[in-house]
Chain A
């Protein structure tokens, strides 16, 4: 009897409580005087916190619009949510989309409004030349306008453990500049057992495929890396890429190279002191500084000296801000979007963003502002990534790329190279399979958007 009474009471109490809560949550809020602007982002932790705060700062600075910044899961989940929302006729105003997803966004004509056009319609001045050249190239069109607005920008660098270098008898102030130097250093580290592994890399496809080919001004795909139009085919099965992958395979047995996973996991090997060198995104600096227990030096990515003109500039990573198109979007809302994006690219916001998060200043003016404020002088090594983007030589293939389904194609690269590292196939076979499977994805994508 007691059991039934308890059950009944519990159910009734809950019904009452939940209907009260439901009623409360749905009670009409006082009519907002402001227009809501929804922005979805994929950042968490300190970075997500700061971007959310920028939204609040903007809201406080004016009273026409209210920006709501929300986290909708990591980039793939967030993208799925945006797709669903778009299909339901209600996409967010702004969405932060990671670099590899750009091709998918662009080739679905009608889903987005190019950001240059957004500013133009709102009557707010916007000069794409403000943004650093690699970002402009990556997110822009041949006529110079921008499809999306670069915001959090990173590039790849080389971190070295100076203590391990000393132990190995290497000069800690001379990080390897070329790949032959890298190989020698890694082998020496292993032969003196200065560390359990010579070097490792994070973000395998981004660094070993995209950054690597940019650094040597090598084409990844026809039609200007896909930027000139549809119908591009991948062209990476060449001697240079084969040599790079083969190097990784050959260095494995002695642990001069040790594979650490496809994304960010390998950084832990460097931070814990296991590996003496790390190829990593510039954004990984904060974790190393906080948790590492050794002296750190930063250098640009190494290159093969026999490639003519190398080293060229590296390309960018990170994400940019896209503006969605929707039938019920008003000119007023789009103006609010333009105003908020204008706010985000201001020097004040950009410099605070770059200083705090470890992302790079995306505009030339914010970079100069940081220079003049002495930031780079006080923080040695922080200028290495940005210089590797803007001061290194620019080439035809340092402007990025535009491929549909690039996230999946990156994973195909991961799978094929992992198979080579496992010893199941040669470097040439890996690249051949990569091209074959990657091209199939590109063709399928083109079919789906037509």
Chain B
């Protein structure tokens, strides 16, 4: 039986307390967004905004869901935008992770000329802000005929330096004994990867999946630029279109309601990924 102090009552109490403080701070903006989504617009404009939810909750959410379902001239129906976001998020997440997995594996478990050069070449993609290279990237995508396509929306975003770096970090921590044991068993690099490395990487992969999914889900600037067919709009683009530019009015309660609804799928992904966050190793101990 484990008697480590963190499992004692004061330890648990402290842990819960820290979490609640963190929650209060991180959740505050979301709570305010929620309250705003339950008020009428004049109530929001007449500062200070009430801190308790108002009575417009059913009206606002009904309007956003039902009328959003029909779409309008500016945006397609909400379900279309959610589907686009989902496809982008899944394709980008799986694509980025797969590509980075094998790249990191190559850089760590082999020795070959140009090894570090390749790593830095991949890594350098983080160093130039997207705003700078967006014009030439747009030209390349146009020349390849990828405007207004799912391929054009996802391919340019698939090379991920972050994932490669994280996985490289993790692969470097795996003990040499594992590799030696595999070699003695006669396993080649691919067997080793599939049977040993992959299961050990599950917590990092789960974390990466969440991050990449959200990244894909929240794509705004890139879809905005290369897509003229509004049926390919993502939900974030849809929300941005609701926010009035210039002096135009904004239905803040609708914007907040849509924003919160759009958070549900990523939240679901986070919840589902919890299963893979299991402490310790599954099969072999170090």
Instruction: Determine the distance from Cα of A170 to Cα of B18 in the docked complex, in whole angstroms.
Output: 55
Which residue of B138, B198, B229, B246 is within 8 Å of A81 (Cβ)? B138
Whether B242 pairs with A4 at a CB distance below 8 angstroms is no
Whether A271 pairs with B45 at a CB distance below 8 angstroms is yes
Whether A291 pairs with B94 at a CB distance below 8 angstroms is no
Q: What 0/1 pattern do residues 133 to 155 of A give for CB contact below 8 A with B?
A: 00000000000000000000010
Instruction: Determine the distance from Cα of A63 to Cα of B243 in the docked complex, in whole angstroms.
Output: 33
A246-279 CB contacts (< 8 Å) to partner B: 264, 267-268, 271-274
Once A71-B241, A77-B224 are accepted as A-B contacts, the answer to whether A44 and B247 lie under 8 Å apart by CB is: no
- What is the distance, in angstroms, from A359's C-beta to the closest C-beta of chain B? 10
On chain B, the residues within 8 Å of A71 by CB distance are 74, 224, 241
Query: Taking the complex as formed, is B2 at the interface, i.e. its CB lies under 8 A from any CB of chain A?
Result: no
Instruction: Determine the distance from Cα of A293 to Cα of B42 in the docked complex, in whole angstroms.
Output: 8
Whether B228 pairs with A3 at a CB distance below 8 angstroms is no
Whether A3 pairs with B143 at a CB distance below 8 angstroms is no
Instruction: Determine the distance from Cα of A147 to Cα of B153 in the docked complex, in whole angstroms.
Output: 35
Whether B94 pairs with A267 at a CB distance below 8 angstroms is no
Once A18-B91, A71-B241, A80-B135 are accepted as A-B contacts, the answer to whether A45 and B225 lie under 8 Å apart by CB is: no
Instruction: Determine the distance from Cα of A49 to Cα of B41 in the docked complex, in whole angstroms.
Output: 19
Instruction: Determine the distance from Cα of A17 to Cα of B86 in the docked complex, in whole angstroms.
Output: 12
Query: Taking the complex as formed, is B274 at the interface, i.e. its CB lies under 8 A from any CB of chain A?
Result: no
Q: What 0/1 pattern do residues 35 to 76 of A give for CB contact below 8 A with B?
A: 000100011111111101101100000000000111111110
On chain B, the residues within 8 Å of A271 by CB distance are 45-46
Whether A48 pairs with B47 at a CB distance below 8 angstroms is no
Whether A21 pairs with B87 at a CB distance below 8 angstroms is yes
B71-98 CB contacts (< 8 Å) to partner A: 72-74, 87, 90-91, 94, 98
Whether B224 pairs with A72 at a CB distance below 8 angstroms is yes
Instruction: Determine the distance from Cα of A264 to Cα of B248 in the docked complex, in whole angstroms.
Output: 9
Nearest opposing residue in chain B for A264, CB measure: B247
On chain A, the residues within 8 Å of B42 by CB distance are 290-293
Which DSSP category, helix, strand, loop or mixed, fits chain B's interface? helix
Query: Taking the complex as formed, is B244 at the interface, i.e. its CB lies under 8 A from any CB of chain A?
Result: yes
Whether A88 pairs with B143 at a CB distance below 8 angstroms is yes
Once A45-B249, A84-B134, A283-B248 are accepted as A-B contacts, the answer to whether A3 and B199 lie under 8 Å apart by CB is: yes
Whether A43 pairs with B142 at a CB distance below 8 angstroms is no
Which residue of A22, A43, A72, A83 is within 8 Å of B135 (Cβ)? A83
Once A44-B248, A49-B72 are accepted as A-B contacts, the answer to whether A18 and B87 lie under 8 Å apart by CB is: yes
Query: Taking the complex as formed, is A298 at the interface, i.e. its CB lies under 8 A from any CB of chain B?
Result: no
Instruction: Determine the distance from Cα of A21 to Cα of B246 in the docked complex, in whole angstroms.
Output: 37
- What is the distance, in angstroms, from A19's C-beta to the closest C-beta of chain B? 10
Query: Taking the complex as formed, is A331 at the interface, i.e. its CB lies under 8 A from any CB of chain B?
Result: no
Instruction: Determine the distance from Cα of A291 to Cα of B251 in the docked complex, in whole angstroms.
Output: 10
Nearest opposing residue in chain B for A25, CB measure: B150
Tally of contact residues, B, Cβ under 8 A:
50
Nearest opposing residue in chain A for B282, CB measure: A3
Instruction: Determine the distance from Cα of A292 to Cα of B44 in the docked complex, in whole angstroms.
Output: 11
B138-170 CB contacts (< 8 Å) to partner A: 138-139, 142-143, 149-151, 154
B95-131 CB contacts (< 8 Å) to partner A: 98
Query: Taking the complex as formed, is B276 at the interface, i.e. its CB lies under 8 A from any CB of chain A?
Result: yes
Query: Taking the complex as formed, is B284 at the interface, i.e. its CB lies under 8 A from any CB of chain A?
Result: no
Counting contact residues on chain A (CB < 8 A from B), the size range is: 35 or more
Whether A45 pairs with B199 at a CB distance below 8 angstroms is no
Instruction: Determine the distance from Cα of A77 to Cα of B221 in the docked complex, in whole angstroms.
Output: 9
Nearest opposing residue in chain B for A318, CB measure: B246
Instruction: Determine the distance from Cα of A44 to Cα of B243 in the docked complex, in whole angstroms.
Output: 7
On chain A, the residues within 8 Å of B245 by CB distance are 42-45, 74-75
Whether B242 pairs with A88 at a CB distance below 8 angstroms is no
A65-102 CB contacts (< 8 Å) to partner B: 68-75, 77, 80-81, 83-85, 87-90
Which one, A6-14, A231-239, A368-376, is touching chain B? A6-14
- The CB with the most chain B CB atoms within 10 A, among A4, A84, A274, A280, is that of A84
Query: Taking the complex as formed, is B12 at the interface, i.e. its CB lies under 8 A from any CB of chain A?
Result: no
- What is the distance, in angstroms, from A86's C-beta to the closest C-beta of chain B? 10
Query: Taking the complex as formed, is A287 at the interface, i.e. its CB lies under 8 A from any CB of chain B?
Result: yes
Query: Taking the complex as formed, is B17 at the interface, i.e. its CB lies under 8 A from any CB of chain A?
Result: no
Query: Taking the complex as formed, is A302 at the interface, i.e. its CB lies under 8 A from any CB of chain B?
Result: no
On chain A, the residues within 8 Å of B242 by CB distance are 44-45
Instruction: Determine the distance from Cα of A280 to Cα of B205 in the docked complex, in whole angstroms.
Output: 52
Nearest opposing residue in chain A for B145, CB measure: A26
Query: Taking the complex as formed, is A336 at the interface, i.e. its CB lies under 8 A from any CB of chain B?
Result: no
- What is the distance, in angstroms, from B26's C-beta to the closest C-beta of chain A? 26
Once A3-B199, A73-B224 are accepted as A-B contacts, the answer to whether A87 and B135 lie under 8 Å apart by CB is: yes
On chain B, the residues within 8 Å of A4 by CB distance are 194, 198-199
Whether B247 pairs with A22 at a CB distance below 8 angstroms is no
Across the A-B interface, give the 5 residue pairs with the lowest CB-CB distance, nearest first: A291-B45, A52-B73, A283-B247, A284-B247, A88-B142
A-B contact pairs, 13 of them (CB 8 A): A3-B282, A4-B194, A14-B91, A17-B90, A25-B149, A45-B244, A45-B248, A68-B228, A84-B134, A88-B138, A88-B139, A268-B45, A292-B42
Binding site for A on B (CB under 8 A): 41-42, 44-47, 72-74, 87, 90-91, 94, 98, 134-135, 138-139, 142-143, 149-151, 154, 194, 198-199, 202, 205, 221, 224-225, 228-230, 232, 240-251, 276, 282
Other A-B contacts than A72-B225, A281-B246, 18 sampled, CB-CB below 8 A, are: A3-B282, A4-B194, A4-B198, A7-B198, A14-B91, A18-B154, A22-B149, A42-B245, A46-B249, A68-B229, A73-B221, A84-B225, A85-B138, A268-B47, A272-B45, A272-B46, A283-B246, A292-B42
